[in-house]
Amino acid sequence: MGVCLCALFLLVYPVGEMNRLFEYALVILCFAFACGRRRGDMDGFMALLALLFTVGADFFLVALKEEQWLPGMALFCCAQLCWALRLWGMEDGRRRLSHALTWACVCGTLLVVAVILARGADPVLLMGAVYASFLVTTVFFSYLTPRNLLFTLGMTLFLGCDLFVAVNNAALYLDLSAYPLLKTLHDIPFNMMWAFYGPSQMLLSLSSAGGKR
């Protein structure tokens, strides 16, 4: 029902002030739902913290008329770390160890690249690369640990949203006419980012009420 209402609103208000207010209200409502269904264990705490960081990130990227990409992306990185820690808590034995080692390798690689590129790199692009690495790693392990289907589906839709975010922002750096697939995705006459993002937040907030399973 919620997904249908979200899609209907985006069709009626694809852009503009009403669209922006609706998008941020949806994020706040998902966080409020998780607060109302919160549990006292670590799984519930990490889910709630991740959703709180998401509210903060979308304040800079959605609520403000002038987008503030650097603080928004930094908060999204914090949210992804919380989701990763929640997922790590769902695992046990060797898989937990392999998950931890993979994250250590990802973070170590990103640190080396950041040091190399720090002087000349666009900080927003660098933060975006860190965020993308965190998100892809979390989605990958969510399929290896299918203990919470809503969480896995929510993270997958999250990834779908950010693929369209990347396509839209690619127009700032590339001539999309040279990349037919990117241009086709960019020109879709619908807000595909929120078609994925709205349902992803609903599923993640629902997953927070369901525990590890």
Domain span holding position 64: 2-209
- Domain total of the chain: 1
| pTM over the 0.75 mark | yes
Confidence of residue 12 (pLDDT cuts 50, 70, 90): very low
Q: How far is CA 118 from the centre of its chain?
A: 24
pLDDT of residue 143: 87
Average pLDDT of the residues in 91-110: 70
CA distance 88 to 155: 14
Whether 152 and 143 have beta carbons less than 8 Å apart is answered as yes
| Mean pLDDT score across all residues of the chain | 80
Average pLDDT of the residues in 10-29: 72
Residue 4 Cα distances to 10, 121, 179, 202, angstroms: 10, 41, 32, 12
User: Is residue 48's pLDDT more than 60?
Assistant: yes
Minimum mean pLDDT range among 2-6, 26-30, 122-126, 203-207: 2-6
CA distance 110 to 106: 6
Listing DSSP states for 123-173 in one string gives HHHHHHHHHHHHHHHHHHHHHHSTT-HHHHHHHHHHHHHHHHHHHHHHTTT
| Residue that wins the pLDDT comparison between 178 and 13 | 178
| Residue that wins the pLDDT comparison between 59 and 184 | 59
Tens-digit pLDDT profile for residues 158-175: 999 999 888 887 777 777
Amino acid identity of residue 37, one-letter, is R
Residue 110 Cα distances to 132, 139, 147, 179, angstroms: 11, 18, 29, 28
Helices (H), the chain: 2-12, 17-36, 42-58, 69-90, 93-117, 123-144, 149-170, 180-186, 192-209
